[in-house]
A and B are shown apart, each in its own frame.
Chain A
Amino acid sequence: MYLTHFTGENELETEDIVEIKDLYLNFYTYDGVVKALDGVSLDIKKSEILGLVGETGCGKSVTSLSALSIVIPPGNIEKGQIVFHSAKKDFDILSLDEKSLAKLRGHYISMIFQEPRAALNPVYTVGEQVAEVYFHHRKEELIKSVITELEENLKKASGLKRSTYQRDLSLYKKMLKNPKSLSLRFYSKIPILRRFQNRMKKEARKEIVELLKLLNIADPPRVFDMYPHELSGGMAQRVVIAMALACNPYMLIADEPTTSLDVTVQAQILYQIKDLQKKFNTSILYVTHDLGVVAEVCDRVAVMYAGNVVELADVMSFFKNPTHPYAQSLLESIPRPGKKFVSIPGTVPSLISPPEGCRFYDRCKYALEMCPKTKPKLVEVEKGHYVACHLYGK
């Protein structure tokens, strides 16, 4: 039942799914205006995994959240566009109203959070929480499948049962046609009469159990009725992934989904994500600071530094030939046995008064005269390998 939903729905005409164009985002704090994003441009292609790497506070999470048009106060998007290419129409996510955003979030673009147990509401069972996403975005499909089931039952049934089936059938048909009709609202408020909704809940339960099974969760019907505190970290993260995948989104934002898990579970979850990505043909924006993970799962990688994208390349060409000085030192600073530990000298510049030109220049070995004055633009050094550095400009 669940898998039929996933056949051939992601047929998109365009290459890109989400395109972030020249995004500027400021935080208005008491100390001053923090220029957190300074002209970030990215594109996420159809069914690829794009790794977004950078150190803490460089704007990875802020960038990924703005793809859902979520800005954490006191932040404000100053300039820029985030274009979502859907099958029918392109639109700018940032200029959508709340109602269309509510449809977009979770249905077309969804998100996995870093801390799986914090991402689950402690007062609801796993099933209730996943079902909430189902009822929010896929109610019509649920109703339709209930109707077909009821019609089949009607053929066999007789007597009293038949009349209850008939009543439920008419209610569900009404739900499809006019979900806000008076009689429906009346029925859904009266304790015994509102049992007709149980058919829909049962249908959702069936699909959710199927989905949990797909994520290699042992004994899904039992997990369905568990509370988040009863789950282990890995299991909770799987549930969160199930929630994110419930509506087969075009794009999935994974904000360091494996950081809080131990290494063995981390590997399991990574392969699971990769596996599901292939199965469902979803694009993933994978936010992390772990270059090992990037090498393992991603197709392309974007390196961010202090609110800028400094390098954007294929994973293979990035690890073979890192071009930006920051990316080079980042790769060098991965600790290896038998090698002296290298760190990047200096600290990240204050984003309240960042340098006018390249934000990396005072830590850069190759700094040129023009670096502190003009800001480098992303240029293509190889095919598909972009870098923002004056060393490679013309």
Chain B
Amino acid sequence: MDTKKGRFAEFKTSMQPRIKEFKFTMNRVRKSPLSIAGLIIVLFNVCVALLAPVLAPPKLSDPFMIPRDASLGWRYEPSPPSPTHPFGTTSLQVDVFYGCIWGTRFAFMLALEIIVVIVIVGVSLGIISGYYGGLVDEIIMRFTDIILAFPSLILAMAFVAALSRSGWTTLNAVILSIILVGWPGYARLVRSETLRVKSEDYVEAARASGASDLRIMFKHVLPNSIYSMIIVVSLDFGTIVLTAAALSFLGLGAPPQYADWGRLIYDSISWSASGFRYWWTYMYPGIFIVLFVLGWCLLGDALRDVLDPLYRRK
């Protein structure tokens, strides 16, 4: 029984249904060209983020600070793309290529940090609110109502301004403010799914066989209500980066010379006034932002087709 072969065979049979489903999922993905495009764009972004130290070797102690090209002097005017600076430089000879590459890495870090916290907070509050109902539900949902009543970008700006005045570094302030603005959507989504799943017979059956509230919430309700959230997470991955870029663009985010797409575009506002003459200063970071957001949106759609049981078997 304990031989390696026996164990492997056992593992294989026990994994059979999962493998079957996974194959079906992959088949669905393969059949839609848009999801393939999304996947490729996201993979490209991931590669860029992972290979950032190779593509653009850092020169300063903080790799997210974009190095200046001292050989070009302190000239204020951006210099056009050249072999040493493939995407050109922006004011004060700051390298755009470096900014775009390390900006990808920064975008991933930012989005991941924010999404993880938002999901944990949103899911737990949503499940508690939906499962217990009553007063708890009322309190949590009124909080979400308050936050959702404001336009999210304006509210995030207000949070950033308030937080950075009270001693937070601007980057941490951006992260916290996006979290504060973002969790209510997730809490609502999970709550509504919880309300649906809660009334299913198998939840009752689990309770009748002696499962505790916590066990029901996390073993029975959560796995059945998480699918729509996975899709929203992937869509939001792009949106969060967009929000952060918007904040940076408004001068509320990353400090000058920081490898952040929004900051790069903010720095080139004055150059965009002269038409397309200094196009490289805002076009390249713009393209990176568009690709990132587009990739995650397409991937989100693909995930919906694949994971949502209503679309899945069509």
Q: With contacts A113-B201, A227-B17 known, is A123 near B223, CB below 8 A?
A: yes
Nearest-CB distance from B136 to chain A (Å)?
A: 13
Q: Within 8 Å CB of A179, what residues of B?
A: none
Which parts of A315-358 form the interface with B (CB within 8 Å)?
Answer: none
Residues of B within 8 A of A73 (CB): 133
Q: What is the CA–CA distance of A70 and B213 in the complex, to the nearest angstrom?
A: 13
Provide the bound-state CA to CA distance between A261 and B290, in Å.
55
- CB pair B13 A105 closer than 8 Å: no
Contact with B along A74-118 (1 / 0, CB 8 A): 000000000000000000000000100111111100110111001
Task: Determine which of B13, B14, B204 lies in contact with A113 in the assembled complex, contact meaning CB atoms within 8 Å.
Answer: B204
Q: With contacts defined as CB atoms under 8 Å apart, how many contacts are there between chain A and chain B in the complex?
A: 74
- Whose C-beta in chain A lies nearest to the C-beta of B134? A73
The answer, yes or no, to whether A121 is at the interface (CB within 8 Å) is yes
Q: Which residues of B contact A104 (CB under 8 A)?
A: 210
Main secondary structure of the interface of B (DSSP, over half): helix
Find out whether the CB atom of A133 lies under 8 angstroms from the CB atom of B201.
Answer: no
In the assembled complex, which residues on chain B have CB atoms less than 8 Å from the CB atom of A277?
none
**B190 → chain A closest CB, angstroms:** 16
Residues of A within 8 A of B219 (CB): 132
Cβ proximity bits B226-241 to A, threshold 8 Å, 1 near / 0 not: 0000000000000000
Query: Cβ of A212 < 8 Å from any Cβ of B?
Result: no
Asked whether A125 is an interface residue with its Cβ less than 8 Å from the other chain, the reply is: yes
User: Does the CB pair A106–B17 fall under 8 Å?
Assistant: no
Q: Are B210 and A102 in contact (CB under 8 A)?
A: yes
In the assembled complex, the CB of B276 is this many whole angstroms from the nearest CB of chain A, namely: 54
Looking at the assembled complex, report how far the CB atom of B45 sits from the nearest CB atom of chain A, in whole angstroms: 29
Within 8 Å of chain A (Cβ to Cβ): is B205? yes
**Does B166 sit at the interface, judged by CB under 8 A?**
no
List residues of chain B with CB within 8 A of the CB of A161: 2
Q: Mark A175-213, 1 if CB is under 8 A from B, else 0.
A: 000000000000000000000000000000000000000
Known contacts A118-B200, A120-B202, A225-B13: A68-B208 contact under CB 8 Å: yes
Pick the contact of B208: A111, A122, A123, A124 (CB < 8 A): A111
Q: How far does the Cβ of A151 sit from chain B's closest Cβ, in whole Å?
A: 16
What separation, in Å, do the CA atoms of A101 and B200 have in the docked complex?
A: 21
Bound CA–CA A98/B211 (angstroms) = 10
Q: Is the CB of B201 within 8 A of A98?
A: no
The answer to whether A137 has its CB under 8 Å from any CB of chain B is yes
Least CB distance, B133 to chain A, in whole angstroms? 7
Given contacts A73-B133, A225-B14, A225-B17, contact A119 B210 (CB under 8 A): no
A276 part of interface (Cβ distance < 8 Å): no
Structural contact, B210 and A103, CB atoms closer than 8 A: yes
> In the complex, which residues of chain B have a beta carbon less than 8 angstroms from the beta carbon of A240?
205
Minimum C-beta distance from B65 to chain A (A):
38
Q: Is the CB of B17 within 8 A of A105?
A: no
B212 touches A98 (CB 8 A): yes
A136 close to chain B: CB less than 8 A: yes
* B219 and chain A: residue at smallest CB distance: A132
Q: Is A364 an interface position by the 8 A CB rule?
A: no
Q: Is B82 an interface residue (CB 8 A)?
A: no
Measured in the bound complex, the distance between the Cα atoms of B208 and A230 in whole Å is 24
Residue picked from B16, B201, B220, B224, most chain A C-beta under 10 Å: B201
A105 pairs with B201, CB closer than 8 A? no
Chain B CB within 10 A, most for which of A73, A98, A118 = A118
Name the distance in Å between A57's Cβ and chain B's nearest Cβ: 18
Q: Shortest beta-carbon distance, B225 to chain A, in Å?
A: 10
In the bound complex, CA of A68 to CA of B220 (Å):
20
Q: Which residue of A lies closest to B226 (CB)?
A: A123
A226 part of interface (Cβ distance < 8 Å): yes
Q: Which of B190-225 contact A (CB under 8 A)?
A: 200-202, 204-213, 219-220, 223-224
CA A94 – CA B204 in complex, angstroms? 18
Given contacts A122-B224, A240-B205, contact A136 B17 (CB under 8 A): no
> In the complex the two chains form, is A136's CB within 8 Å of B202's CB?
no
Would you call A121 and B224 a contact (CB within 8 A)? yes
Q: B7's closest neighbor in chain A, by CB?
A: A198
B-contact bits for A127-166, CB 8 A (1 contact / 0 none): 0000011001100000000000000000000000100000
Q: Tell me which residues across on chain B come within 8 A of A107, comparing CB atoms.
A: 210
Tell whether, in the assembled complex, residue A125 and residue B17 are in contact, meaning their CB atoms are under 8 Å apart.
yes
**What per-residue 1/0 map shows which CB atoms of B30-51 lie under 8 Å from chain A?**
0000000000000000000000
**Residue among B2, B14, B206, B211 with the highest chain A CB neighbour number at 10 A:** B206
Chain A residues within 8 Å of B201, by CB = 113-115, 118-119
Q: Give CA–CA (A122, B226) in the complex, Å.
A: 13
Nearest-Cβ distance from residue A345 to partner chain B, whole angstroms: 35
Taking a contact as CB atoms under 8 Å apart, the answer to whether A102 and B205 are in contact is no
The yes or no answer to A243 lying at the interface (CB within 8 A) is yes
User: Are B209 and A243 touching (Cβ within 8 A)?
Assistant: yes
Q: Which residue of B lies closest to A130 (CB)?
A: B209
Chain A residue at smallest Cβ distance from B213: A98
- A118 nearest CB neighbor, chain B only: B201
Provide the residues of chain B in CB contact with A106, threshold 8 Å. 208-210
CA distance A137 to B205 in the complex (A): 15
Partner of B207, one of A70, A121, A133: A70
Q: Are B17 and A119 in contact, with the CB atoms below 8 A?
A: no
Instruction: Return the 4 tightest CB-CB contacts between A and B, nearest first.
Output: A106-B209, A106-B210, A118-B201, A105-B210
Binding site for A on B (CB under 8 A): 2, 13-14, 16-17, 133, 200-202, 204-213, 219-220, 223-224
14 A-B pairs whose Cβ atoms sit less than 8 Å apart in the complex: A68-B208, A70-B207, A103-B210, A105-B207, A105-B208, A106-B208, A113-B204, A118-B200, A119-B202, A119-B205, A121-B220, A125-B17, A132-B209, A161-B2
Q: A70-B204, A123-B223 are in contact. List 12 more A-B contacts (CB 8 A).
A: A102-B212, A104-B210, A105-B207, A110-B208, A113-B204, A114-B201, A118-B201, A119-B202, A119-B205, A121-B223, A227-B17, A243-B205
